[in-house]
Structure 1
């Protein structure tokens, strides 16, 4: 994540249509997501992205799954599982209502099929409708602009202090390795960095993604960080955790 703030996305109109990639967790703007793609439906999605002109953006929507599973039993074998496999009959009920546009880079095709790629979160969106008539889901989406909100700047110092204490408590013996860590000054960028790094369930992460503005997100994060730090203070030492490492999502 950079310190330059969240930029507008001129290509995303009030309503636009995107290929949709449901995952078990939320993606935040500015964060990097490695993907290991092997299910037929998502191989088709990435194949269509690679077929675009070289100078065209390779973008798709990432949305967290509310009810269902990320990988279907059939899809584990690379077979055609259908666009709704693991999600039931109604994708609008199976998926959360807000997601994040992702920009794909470094797409590499593997021997025997499938792809490895790295996607970067760009901009939040709201789901308007989902189409399951093709080999993979597509969605009509609305751009959700990012705003700082009243008092966001004043929250930055306290969030950084509390988040640093949270990191140190998690890191345990590696506490010294966290000293001197730099954080972005932009409230929106900081709010997404903390949202991605904090250890929380999908529902809590989704609430942070859907916050009305950075001030509301930072306020919610302060409550969450203080609560979690208080709980950890009452528990035995925890093993070191690398908060900056993002897991590779296999569909």
Structure 2
């Protein structure tokens, strides 16, 4: 257990994911300053009720510890803070919320008795690589053999997939909270299959419309 400053957001951060934050509220500028004077870690947690800016909020019970990796000073007393997700945590008790929220938390561990078949992992890796390539192509980018750059461990891959897909934050929160790598991999694989089909259909439609106008 440890005491952890919390940064409630309308975003779900997964372990291994990167999150850039523009920090400007005095309470969160102080949070970042305090973090830099300790271990550079704070908790990112999805807002259950309330506002992200300018008011109180009620956090979900599970979040992700973020470690600050870089800070850039911006005009008007703003900071661009980039952090990477490390471990998940459970909130045990909210200790205070002034000037910012601090809670006692403990690390949430994954189930360790699961056996994941090689074929399941290979399919998840292949589909994720193809999906990533499609997303990059839509933005004019390209990467050689994207599957080779993906995490090899099932747990890390499941978090990467969950961070990559575009889903409502409520669904992402459920993926964060589950302690089953198999379930997370399965859910993400099914979503990526569906999203990939939609992207292919959209691309074909765009090409058809482009040629029909010529």
- State the TM-score bracket (shorter-chain normalisation): 0.7 to 0.9
2:33 aligned to which of 47, 64, 84: 47
Partner of 2:78: 114
Per-residue displacement from partner, 1:77-130 (whole Å, max 9, x unpaired)? xxxxxxxx152xxx2xxx222100111133344454232221111100011222
Instruction: Supply the distance in 1 between the matched residues of 2:130 and 2:152 (Cα, whole angstroms).
Output: 18
- How far residue 213 of structure 1 moved from its aligned partner, in angstroms, is 2.6
Are the equivalent residues in 1 in contact too, given 2:19–2:84 (CA < 8 A)? yes
Deviates more, 1:34-43 or 1:106-115: 106-115
Structure having the higher helix fraction is: 2
Are the equivalent residues in 1 in contact too, given 2:109–2:179 (CA < 8 A)? no
- How far residue 167 of structure 1 moved from its aligned partner, in angstroms, is 3.0
Higher RCO structure (Cα 8 Å, ≥6 apart): 1
SS at match of 2:142: helix
**Judging changes above 3 Å, is the alpha-carbon distance between structure 1 residues 42 and 114 closer, same or farther for their aligned structure 2 residues?**
same
**Judging changes above 3 Å, is the alpha-carbon distance between structure 1 residues 63 and 204 closer, same or farther for their aligned structure 2 residues?**
same
Per-residue displacement from partner, 1:188-224 (whole Å, max 9, x unpaired)? 1111111111111111211111121322211111122
Structure 2: state its 5+ residue gaps: 207-214
Deviates more, 1:165-174 or 1:176-185: 165-174
Partner of 2:176: 209
Does 2:123 align with 1:141? no
State how 1:29-68 maps to structure 2 within 5 Å.
Answer: 29-50=15-36, 52=37, 56-68=38-50
Q: How many residues align?
A: 203
With normalisation by structure 2, the TM-score equals: 0.82
With normalisation by structure 1, the TM-score equals: 0.71
- How far residue 232 of structure 1 moved from its aligned partner, in angstroms, is 3.8
Aligned-pair Cα RMSD in Å: 2.6
SS at match of 1:67: strand
SS at match of 1:36: strand
**Judging changes above 3 Å, is the alpha-carbon distance between structure 1 residues 86 and 147 closer, same or farther for their aligned structure 2 residues?**
same
Does 2:177 align with 1:177? no
Structure having the higher strand fraction is: 2
Are the equivalent residues in 2 in contact too, given 1:149–1:213 (CA < 8 A)? no
Instruction: Supply the distance in 2 between the matched residues of 1:173 and 1:40 (Cα, whole angstroms).
Output: 38
Instruction: Supply the distance in 2 between the matched residues of 1:173 and 1:224 (Cα, whole angstroms).
Output: 19
